[in-house]
Amino acid sequence: MFEFLLRMGDNTLVLGHRVSEWCGHAPVLEEDIALANIALDMIGQTRLWLGLAGEVEGQGREADALAFRRDAWDFRNLLLVERPNRDFGHTLMRQFLFDLWHHERLADLCLSEDDRVAGIVAKCVKEADYHLERSKDLIIRLGDGSEESHAKMQAALEALWPYVGEMFADDALDKKMAEQGIAPLPSSQKPRFDKALNEVLAKATLTRPESDFAQKGGRTGTHTEDLGHMLATMQFLQRAYPDARW
């Protein structure tokens, strides 16, 4: 259960951090404001998931201890969300792929037999719904926009595509969660994800990459090099001044 909660909370923690890196640097003021809202939702969701994780673990670690005092190998997020921002198209495509998965995931988790999980999801699901709406709108517009925006979105899709498969790969922990009625198997989401994805890509005039090769490891603690750098920044104060309270 602890691991399952980390998987949920680390996704939003890491992606929220990545999105917050844009603060003050977005292409237009309206977008700066919209991105900050997404990051704020993600940080809020992180506090709920990691808060519950700490409770379940029972070692007295609160959400902040889990976020700021674990090393990369203890993180359980998807590789997708730790991919660096690169250009704005990359950031939006990463957000869209995550939102599409996240929205479905939360919809399934509404039915969790664990009341605490269902409680958290009830709060997050509306936020995820809005994020997906915004992501979709932007992907469709930029895909079917100028030649340059189309090329950038197609390139972003291809660069991030190898990180999509991991979202639907079941492992032993997933099977246990499914048996206990806490969370359905990730693979069960795949057909819905594919259908929704294909619809958006068609409208966006983007081509779905053919390869189904998938990079994996994030959910079991083997990450890309980027996560370590991200944590070095994020955890700096808590690590440098371990006695301080902030």
Partner 1 sequence: MYAQEVKSTGKGVKAPEEMSVQERAFQARIDAGEKIEPKDWMPDGYRKNLVRQISQHGHSEVVGQLPEGNWITRAPTLERKAILLAKVQDEAGHGLYLYSAAETLGVSRADLIDDLLSGKAKYSSIFNYPTLNWADMGAVGWLVDGAAIVNQVALQRTSYGPYSRAMVRICKEESFHARQGFDIMMKMSSGTAAQKAMAQDALNRLWWPALMMFGPPDAESVHSAQSMAWKIKVMTNDEGRQKFVDQTIPQIEYLGLEVPDSAAKLNRETGHYSYSDPDWAEFFAVLKGNGPCNVDRLRARNIAHIEGAWFRDGLMAHAQKQQLAAE
Partner 2 sequence: MAKDWPLWEIFIRGQYGLSHRHVGSLHAPDAEMAVLNARDVYTRRNEGVSLWVVKSADVTASAPSRKGPMFDPSNDKTYRHPTFFDIPDDVGSM
The smaller minimum CB distance to partner 1, of residues 48 and 177, is found at: 48
Both structure tokens of 181? 């009625």
Environment class of 50 (CB within 10 Å of its CB; exposed 0-12, middle 13-18, buried 19+): buried
* 101-109, 128-136, 166-174, 238-246 -> range binding partner 1 (CB under 8 A): 238-246
CA atoms within 13 Å, Cβ hemisphere of 28: 2
3-class SS at 222?
coil
Among residues 27, 119, 181, 191, the one that binds partner 1 under rule CB under 8 A: 27
In this structure, what DSSP letter does residue 182 have?
A: S
Q: Which does 133 bind (CB under 5 to 8 A by kind): partner 2, partner 1, none?
A: partner 2
What does the buried/exposed string (b/e) look like for 69-93 if buried means 16 or more CB atoms within 10 Å of the residue's CB? ebebeebbbbbbbbbeeeebbbbbb
CA atoms of 202 and 245, how far apart (whole Å): 51
The answer to whether the beta carbons of residues 235 and 69 sit under 8 Å apart is yes
Among residues 3, 21, 57, 108, the one that binds partner 1 under rule CB under 8 A: 21
Is position 220 an interface residue for partner 2 (rule: CB under 8 A)? no
Q: Which of residues 25-44 bind partner 2 (CB under 8 A)?
A: 28-30, 33-34, 37
Q: Which does 23 bind (CB under 5 to 8 A by kind): partner 1, partner 2, none?
A: partner 1
Is position 234 an interface residue for partner 1 (rule: CB under 8 A)? yes
CA atoms of 37 and 35, how far apart (whole Å): 5
Q: Which of residues 123-162 bind partner 1 (CB under 8 A)?
A: 138, 140-142, 144-146, 148-150, 152
The smaller minimum CB distance to partner 2, of residues 69 and 141, is found at: 141
Q: Other CB atoms closer than 10 Å to residue 230's CB: what's the count?
A: 19
Please give the residue ranges that form the binding site for partner 1 (CB under 8 A).
Answer: 13, 17, 20-21, 23-33, 36-37, 39-40, 43-44, 46-47, 50, 63-64, 67-68, 87-89, 138, 140-142, 144-146, 148-150, 152, 233-234, 236-238, 241, 243-246
Please give the residue ranges that form the binding site for partner 2 (CB under 8 A).
Answer: 28-30, 33-34, 37, 130, 133-134, 137, 141
